[in-house]
Amino acid sequence: MTFEEFVGARLGAILRYATVVAWDRHLAEDITQDVLARAQLRWARIGRLDAPELYVKRMVLNEFLSWRRRRSTVSMPVDRLESFAPVSPDPAAAHDERDAMVRLIGTLPPKQRAVIALRFYEDLSVYEIATLMGARPTTVRTHLARALESLRTALPSTVKEPR
Amino acid sequence: MSQELEDLIRTAQLRVADAADPGGVREGIATRAARLRVRRTIGTVAAAAAAVIAVALAVPLSSSTHRSAPIQPPSASPTTAAGGSPLRYRIMSLPTGFVEKGRIVADPKADNPQIEVVRTWTADPVGANAVGMPKEVRLFVLRKPDATYYDRGTPVDVNGTTGYYDHLAAGPSSTVSWPVGDQLLQVVAEGGLDPTQEAMLRMARSVRPDPATTRAPLWVSWLPSGYTLSSVAVSGDWPAEWQCSVFATTDPQDGPDSRYSLNIRLATGTPAPEGGPLVMVGGRPGRILDNEANTRFLVVNVDDLLLTVWTSWPAGGTPMPDEDLIHVATATVRLGDPTTTAWIGSP
């Protein structure tokens, strides 16, 4: 598969993944462009891998967590999250738990946000996440537990009540 | 509640994912790739020159009891090294007011593309920026080039040799590339200049052999075991105002992302974040700290400058011990030889 074929087939999926990891559409676009530009320069090697998409996704994750991105990911202005407003907002749902969750995930530390992206969006196991992040499974579990606890604690009380 | 919470997370993630729009991303990839080809020369660049210095100057080492060996010259022969690293070529016809403000000398085995020398001219102050000014002209000397990188664009004649002129309409630069023996020369003008094809060809056709050599103002006499010098970069606005970066890496065992890297930089600023406990390094105050992205910094005050030694390790790897970082810092010598930076600010 050539690089152009790969981008044609998988750009959408990679960008969606990057957006969920970064939780910022503009940052995700920036990271995706950077990573794919780097991948293009190395495509002779990456293209021969069994799973080039997995490799590229790992590059996206590393780029997001890299120190060069720390400044833009440590504290995300809430107004950046407005870019995730639905195209046709549902007035009845404007303040529901889904909006709250979108905002709350954006407040998580980058590693916690990345872990929940890999766990729930990519449906990876703790061990797979640990391999991808180069961390120990216990570290991943800690990030995951803290993320879930933060979200559970911060959710509006109406959401916490059993329905 | 747990399942409900997870469902809410998944719903939010899908909603956020749906906001992604690949339309604008696709166009930007080629442009960034072209820019990266230039930038990677800086990021990965640096050091036959440092190796040269190690050979040329018999500064005694204090590391004989350490488990690691003094650095070895990666490529330059001792004969060549004794006189400095060759610059190979220079541009004779530059835009008015342009002077040389940056040099990078690299071990061409250390990276791809195979960069040997990069020289930068600009009329703008570079300050703390090594290179990357919006209006600058660079001359790359590359070895064993990958032709797929450089034979794109319009075929042009460069003093009787077929080269290629490439202008990225939405991109950052214009280039003229042409082979000379087993090397490839490339003139790159950043987008801020917006030169015409004729102007680019005029610069390319003015390139001549340069018998001069260059030496770095720093000498690094010790590196941890497994590291080899990759490149040395020197830049500045005046001979007395310079910054120097030395870059070393380990051989990647499992692909390029498994590589450990080591940067040594003497400059007015530091890339390290604030904070870190006080450490004494050769009698000078310093601080040492990690960030959350597998990078460890050591910053030492050296007179009016800051020496920063930082190392990055791959995911799952182990950080360099503090004692090794400190040893690298104490093994880094500011030469105080004004001839090493006398070229800064000259045409």
Q: How far is CA B272 from CA A67, B290, B311, in A?
A: 10, 9, 11
Q: Is the pLDDT of residue B1 over 70?
A: no
- The whole-angstrom distance between A53's CA and the closest CA on chain B is 15
- Decide if pLDDT at B324 tops 70: yes
Residues A19-75: tens digit of each pLDDT: 999 888 888 888 898 889 888 877 877 887 878 888 899 889 888 887 444 443 333
Q: Choose among A42, A62, A116: nearest Cβ to B315.
A: A62
- With beta carbons under 8 A apart, name residues in chain A contacting B25: 11, 15, 29, 32-33, 36
Cβ count near B34 (within 10 Å): 23
pLDDT of res. B49? 31
Q: Average pLDDT of chain A?
A: 76
Q: How confident is the model at residue B337 (pLDDT cuts 50, 70, 90)?
A: confident
Judge whether B244 and B126 are in contact, CB under 8 Å.
Answer: no
Q: Which of residues 297-316 of B touch A (CB under 8 A)?
A: 314-316
CA A14 to the chain's CA centroid: 10
Band of pLDDT at residue B81, cut at 50, 70 and 90: very low
Could you say which of B11, B29, B315 has the minimum Cβ distance to residue A98? B11
pLDDT (0 to 100) of residue A67: 47
Q: How far is A142 from chain B (nearest CA, A)?
A: 16
| B184 vs A97, residue with greater confidence | B184
Q: What is the rounded CA–CA span in Å between residue A90 and residue A88?
A: 6
Please tell me which residue, A2 or A85, carries the higher pLDDT value.
A2
pTM for this entry: 0.56
Contact A45 B255 (CB under 8 A): yes
| Mean pLDDT along residues B257-273 | 82
DSSP conformation class of A136: -
- Collect all residues of chain B within an 8 Å Cβ-Cβ radius of residue A97: 8
Confidence of residue B156 (pLDDT cuts 50, 70, 90): very high
Assess: ipTM above 0.85.
Answer: no
Q: Is A61 on the interface with B (CB under 8 A)?
A: no
Whether the pLDDT of residue B210 is over 90: the answer is yes
Q: Which residues of A touch B6 (CB under 8 A)?
A: 120
To the nearest whole angstrom, how far is the Cα of B18 from the nearest Cα of chain A? 7
pLDDT of residue A87: 34
> Cβ contact (<8 Å) for B36 and A38?
yes
pLDDT of A88 higher than 70? no
Of the candidates B130, B117, B134, the residue with the CA atom closest to the CA atom of residue B243 = B130
Task: Provide the pLDDT for residue B136.
Answer: 86
Report the pLDDT value the prediction gives residue B95, as an integer from 0 to 100.
Answer: 92
- Structure confidence at residue B189 (pLDDT): 86
CA quadruple A122, A126, A129, A133: dihedral sign: positive
